[in-house]
């Protein structure tokens, strides 16, 4: 992954190329009532017919993995 944006304590954006997929992962950090809220968003650009057809399924898979990632990050940070 290539780091393309970095605002210390606020935002990190990284991009990658994996064949016909170009994911962009954005992490946004916000102070909230003495804690920090973390938002993680993944956007994937695709090319090619097969990837276009798979995009709806990929969205569901990425959402599930993203929720797991955030839950694990929360668990690690709280221990």
Task: Report the domain count for the chain.
Answer: 1
- For residue 11, the model assigns a pLDDT of 97
- Which domain does 12 fall in, by range? 2-78
Taking the chain (79 residues) in runs of 10, the rounded mean pLDDT of each run is 94 92 92 87 84 81 86 87
CA distances from 9 to 3, 18, 31, 40 (A): 15, 28, 9, 14
Residue 28 belongs to a domain with what CATH number? 2.20.25
pTM for the model stands at: 0.73
Instruction: Tell me how far apart the alpha carbons of residues 20 and 45 are, in angstroms, rounded to a whole number.
Output: 8
């Amino acid at each position: 992954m290539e780091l393309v944006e970095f605002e210390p304590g606020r935002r990190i954006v990284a991009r990658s190329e994996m064949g016909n997929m170009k994911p962009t992962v954005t992490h946004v950090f916000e102070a909230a009532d003495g804690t920090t809220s973390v938002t993680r968003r993944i956007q994937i650009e695709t090319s090619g017919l097969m990837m276009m057809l798979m995009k709806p399924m990929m969205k569901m898979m990425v959402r599930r993995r993203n929720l797991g990632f955030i839950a694990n990050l929360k668990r690690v940070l709280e221990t």
